[in-house]
């Protein structure tokens, strides 16, 4: 460790895959670092759909940031929200009025879902980016079955058991498959009046096909598998309106019980706060070394950044991209501090892009090779046991998760939103 390392203060905004990875690189070299996030936990977002469908509890896929980084004495973790960035004075303003000065600023604040100018749809079709979102979706799905069980009107029952997922990317495919399995397997025996298996799950995609990031062959396979699970896939079917109990898409008005929106992504407000140019989804354009053009010592990565690959194509918003960028930037910053030398440009190594289409069925695209079916699913499960076990330091939990997932024994079927006060049986609280 050189003296220089100690003098430089790096502030990282966002404790997602990218931010945590940068912090690890800096922490290992003893660089004074502050990592701040609005949440006290790091979220394993790729499995959020399993919380939404009651297969996992929130704590299974979220870990306190402090805990993850506690071995690094030079890292401070702050629970805070950034409200302004002053690049001239090199400081960041926080929501509580305090400010934090930096020598180097790293933006890794991630992305949220975009409703394309229809923010009013958010109320009726929540998205799936946070634990609060996942809980909301879980409660709505389960509550819709409960209401169907209590209804005497056949049309109303049909409506309540119709679930629409908007957006045919990997999240949409995984979510639609998981909802179908929740209805067909987990809940099938629990209801006596309704037949949970008769629930309709619709996956709506505005474009000509689902899974555009995957080769057409794999997308076709996924579509066929979704059909087997009972999911109706509609392509070329842009959504025109969403209300509490219906979705208008293509030429149809569909009465629905629950809608979920996983159709569009926009970056967090980092670009606005920096006052730098962004692309149409709000991503900050960065150089190939992840630095922000025109600013000194400001970097952006992960979902908040627009990083172009060697062919000039934007990197996709994937966990592995964010992690690799974080790993790269952590090392590059340390190198620069120590030797003054700039690192060679960031280069992405594709570890394979996967999507799950129900149990025992997945697609994997490695670029140079493709895989589908049970073998792909098995590979996916192995990779996720490895990732979750490393994440939580608990192999047992990861194995138990797999067991619950394979056996359809969804334990987390709690309706907790809206909150219902104290647990006083079926009665209002006494006075």
Known catalytic residues are 174
- Can you tell me the distance from the alpha carbon of 88 to that of 102, in angstroms, rounded to the nearest whole number? 11
**Residue 273 near residue 178 (C-beta atoms within 8 A):** no
Instruction: In angstroms, give the least distance from the CB of 64 to a copy of itself.
Output: 4
| Residue of 97, 208, 312, 421 interacting with a copy of itself (CB under 8 A) | 421
Contact residues for 1 (Cβ-Cβ < 8 A; gap 6+): 29, 30
401-420 binders of a copy of itself (CB under 8 A): 403, 409, 411-416, 419-420
User: Beta strand pairing status for 305-306 and 284-285?
Assistant: parallel
Q: Which is nearer to a copy of itself, 12 or 355 (CB)?
A: 12
Q: Residue from 22, 104, 111, 298 that binds a copy of itself (CB under 8 A)?
A: 111
Count the site residues for a copy of itself by CB under 8 A.
Answer: 93
Residues sharing a CB contact under 8 Å with residue 337, sequence separation 6 or more, in sequence order: 2, 4, 5, 8, 29, 31
CB of 162 vs a copy of itself, minimal distance in Å: 19
Total residue length of the chain: 431
Residues 192-231 that bind a copy of itself (CB under 8 A): 192-193
Helix extents (H) in 33-166: 48-52, 65-69, 131-150, 154-160
Provide the mask over 71-110, with x wherever binding to a copy of itself is found by CB under 8 A and - wherever it is not: --x-xx-xxxxxx------------x----------xxxx
Judged by CB under 8 A, the stretch of 68-76, 208-216, 223-231, 374-382 that binds a copy of itself is 68-76
Interface with a copy of itself, residue 142, by CB under 8 A: yes
Q: How far apart are CA 306 and CA 230, in angstroms?
A: 37
The residue among 311 and 422 lying less far from a copy of itself, judged by its C-beta, is 422
Q: How far is the CB of 305 from a copy of itself (least distance, A)?
A: 12
Torsional sign, CA 137, 381, 223, 309: positive
Q: Is the Cβ–Cβ distance between 305 and 326 less than 8 Å?
A: no
Interacting residues with a copy of itself between 254 and 283 (CB under 8 A): 266-273, 282
| Interface of this chain with a copy of itself, residues 14 to 33, rule: CB under 8 A | 14-16, 19
């Amino acid at each position: 460790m050189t003296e220089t390392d100690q003098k430089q203060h790096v502030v990282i905004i966002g404790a997602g895959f990218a931010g945590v990875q940068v912090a690890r690189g800096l922490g290992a070299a003893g660089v004074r670092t502050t990592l701040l996030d609005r949440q006290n936990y790091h979220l394993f977002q790729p499995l959020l759909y399993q919380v939404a469908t009651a297969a996992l509890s929130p704590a299974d896929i979220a870990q306190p940031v402090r805990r993850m980084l506690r071995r690094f004495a030079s890292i401070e973790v702050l629970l805070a929200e950034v409200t302004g960035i002053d690049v001239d004075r090199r400081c960041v303003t926080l929501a509580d009025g305090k400010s934090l000065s930096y020598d180097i600023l790293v933006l890794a604040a991630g992305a949220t879902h975009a409703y394309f100018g229809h923010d009013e749809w958010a109320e009726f079709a929540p998205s799936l980016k946070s634990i609060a979102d996942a809980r909301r979706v879980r409660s709505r799905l389960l509550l819709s079955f409960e209401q169907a069980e209590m209804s005497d009107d056949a049309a109303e029952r049909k409506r309540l058991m119709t679930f629409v997922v908007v957006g045919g990317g990997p999240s949409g495919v995984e979510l639609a498959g998981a909802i179908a399995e929740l209805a067909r397997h987990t809940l099938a025996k629990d209801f006596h009046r309704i037949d949970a298996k008769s629930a309709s799950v619709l996956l709506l995609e505005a474009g000509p096909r689902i899974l555009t990031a995957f080769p057409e062959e794999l997308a076709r396979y996924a579509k066929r598998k979704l059909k087997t699970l009972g999911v109706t896939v509609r392509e070329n079917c842009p959504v025109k309106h969403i209300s509490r109990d219906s979705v208008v898409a293509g030429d149809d008005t569909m009465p629905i019980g629950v809608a979920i929106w996983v159709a569009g992504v926009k970056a967090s407000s980092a670009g606005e706060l920096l006052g730098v140019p962004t692309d149409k989804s709000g991503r900050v354009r960065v150089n190939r070394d992840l630095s922000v053009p025109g600013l000194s010592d400001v970097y952006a990565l992960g979902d908040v950044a627009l990083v172009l690959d060697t062919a000039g194509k934007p990197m996709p918003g994937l966990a592995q991209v964010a992690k690799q960028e974080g790993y790269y930037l952590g090392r590059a910053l340390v190198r620069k501090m120590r030797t003054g030398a700039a690192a060679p440009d960031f280069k992405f190594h594709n570890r394979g892009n996967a999507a799950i289409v129900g149990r025992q069925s997945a697609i994997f695209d490695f670029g140079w090779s493709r895989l589908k079916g049970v073998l792909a699913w098995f590979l996916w499960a192995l990779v996720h046991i490895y990732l979750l076990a490393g994440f939580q330091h608990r192999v047992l939990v990861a194995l138990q998760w797999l067991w619950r997932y394979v056996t359809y024994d969804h334990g987390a079927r709690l309706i907790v939103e809206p909150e219902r006060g104290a647990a006083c049986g079926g009665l209002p609280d006494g006075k």
